[in-house]
Amino acid sequence: MATETTPLLQNNQIRNGRLYLAAFSAVLGSFIFGYAMVFPSAAIPQLQIDDDPNLHMNVGQISWFGSVFAIGAIAGGLSAMVLNDKIGRKHSIMISVIPSTAGFFVMALAKGWLWLLLGRLFTGIAAGITASSIPVYVSEISHPGVRGFLGSSSQTMTVIGGLVLYALGLVLPWRWLAVAGEVPGLIMLFLLCFMPNSPRFLLTKDKDDEAKRALQWLRGPDTDYESEFQRIKHSVISQQGGMRCSDFTKSFYLKPILISVFMRILQQMTGITPILIYMEPIFEKTAVSLEPKVDAAIVGFVRLFPVLIAACIMDKTGRKSLLHASAFIMYLSMMVLGVYTHKTPCNRNVTGEALSAKEPFGAMSGFELSSGTLIPLMSIIFTVLGYAVGWGPITWLLMSEILPVKVRGIVSGVCVVASYVTAFLLTQFFMQAVEAFGLYVPFLFFSAICVLNIIFTAKCVPETKGKTLEEIENYFRNGNTVTIAER
């Protein structure tokens, strides 16, 4: 295969400014995702001291407050399986604004625990739709030379969304945090009104002229967009026709589907979702020497840098090397925290018992370390740093790269469902496991999963750096035994 020159090296022939604007408009949905997902981290401590006793929660209720977001994401992912192929990736992202706005509105006005759960459920539905649609949209509008950078921008915006939530949590009451969550959705809706739909999607709907205009807008009128359009059209035509059950037994479809689904499951099994959602309570549990909400803001700030670095180097270093480095860093950091919380002597509370499901849950006064330390903070920092370098952004990107266009819209929804079923189970039982056994049990489990991720990456994940989506499809279609990085 011939090496393709990136648009950045073509004397600005390809006007990436428009492409970047379209990608930015879409990934604002990822910002909302990140903001909404970690909302409980800042809200839980404030809710426990709220003047309204109806908002106080016990361990079981807090577990539901954290995990119901994943149930919404599952519903959103299932919806996206239909929406992506019926109305298109762009319009699916735009529709996500409805449940997102409704969810933040309900939480801002909540008078009881069930209203908070309803708001979390709505924002989860929006997250499931955007998680299925944004990576596909961005991947399909991108040029191969910047697809890694733009594909990772979704995870970058998710990180920024979480950082903004942690930062605002330092100064805003929890109701105003919900109000602030409304703003990016309205901006995204406005911007997407002026952006084109995916040329590949338009071709699947026999809208050739509109697809060509969209590609011309994204690449610029002075570029050789016509050749690219013909390649995309040929690829789409070759896959036209309805899917049959027997098709899924073919390696061309089955292998990339299995890789995508298992990567999303393994991504969640690293424990990143419960860590981010319960970050302040985790720091309360470890008696870290700094104030927990400050620790959370520090982690959110530090988390931004590795994801920006990964975005900049992904198209140079490749996907697999970053996945290996990411899993290894997470393994070491979670192993350190697991061993530390297991070996360090702990003080029990006055009753000597863990909290029951009916007792109020404030500063997590079960097992607590006897003295302040920075080890938990550093371990969590390196955990989220490792995740942000590879297993955060690359799993989203690879899903949109390796799935055949014929099943991309549907299977991206399947991936989100698989991901958030896993996230729900982990988030639901994380706090209960911590209360019953201590922090070391889940963290040692997560570190073992990271070893499995390294093995999976080495044996199953192809290198897609610098390849067009059509070249990647041909790799799976032809059943090559070498990675597509090899020429």
Looking at per-residue confidence, does 178 or 53 come out higher?
178
Distance separating alpha carbons of residues 95 and 108, to the nearest angstrom = 21
Looking at per-residue confidence, does 328 or 244 come out higher?
328
pLDDT above 90 for 338 = no
The mean pLDDT value for 399-414 works out to 76
pLDDT above 60 for 164 = yes
The mean pLDDT value for 365-388 works out to 71
Percent of all residues in the chain with a pLDDT value above 70, rounded to a whole number: 84
pLDDT in tens, 186-204: 999 999 999 999 888 888 8
pLDDT above 80 for 380 = yes
**What integer pLDDT is reported at residue 332 of this predicted model?**
94
Residue 58's DSSP bridge partners are 360
Cα 415 to Cα 3, 73, 105, 354, 386: the distances in Å are 30, 11, 28, 36, 22
CATH 1.20.1250.20 fits 15-195+246-478, yes or no: yes
CB 229 within 8 A of CB 212: yes
Distance separating alpha carbons of residues 140 and 263, to the nearest angstrom = 20
**What integer pLDDT is reported at residue 188 of this predicted model?**
95
The mean pLDDT value for 41-51 works out to 82
**What integer pLDDT is reported at residue 191 of this predicted model?**
95
pLDDT in tens, 311-324: 777 777 778 888 99
pLDDT above 80 for 386 = yes
pLDDT above 90 for 355 = no
pLDDT in tens, 129-149: 998 889 889 888 888 777 777
pLDDT in tens, 55-108: 888 877 888 888 899 899 889 988 887 888 788 889 999 999 999 999 999 999
What are the residue ranges of helices labelled H in 38-112?
39-47, 59-86, 89-95, 97-108
Looking at per-residue confidence, does 289 or 268 come out higher?
268
pLDDT above 50 for 5 = no
**What integer pLDDT is reported at residue 106 of this predicted model?**
94
Cα 406 to Cα 241, 248, 308: the distances in Å are 9, 11, 31
Looking at per-residue confidence, does 487 or 375 come out higher?
375
pLDDT above 80 for 230 = yes
The domain limits of the chain are 15-195+246-478
What is the chain's mean pLDDT, rounded? 80
Listed ranges 232-246, 322-336, 454-468; the one with the highest mean pLDDT: 322-336
**Length of the chain measured in residues:** 487
Distance separating alpha carbons of residues 72 and 57, to the nearest angstrom = 20
Distance separating alpha carbons of residues 406 and 236, to the nearest angstrom = 8
Cα 384 to Cα 95, 211, 291, 299: the distances in Å are 30, 39, 19, 8
Distance separating alpha carbons of residues 463 and 240, to the nearest angstrom = 26
**What is the bridge-based pairing of β-strands 368-369 and 346-347?**
antiparallel
pLDDT in tens, 430-475: 888 887 787 888 889 999 999 999 999 998 888 887 777 777 777 7
**What integer pLDDT is reported at residue 276 of this predicted model?**
83
CB 408 within 8 A of CB 235: no
pLDDT above 60 for 327 = yes
**What integer pLDDT is reported at residue 360 of this predicted model?**
41
Distance separating alpha carbons of residues 174 and 39, to the nearest angstrom = 9
Distance separating alpha carbons of residues 77 and 301, to the nearest angstrom = 29
Neighbours of 194 (CB within 10 A): 9
**What integer pLDDT is reported at residue 362 of this predicted model?**
40
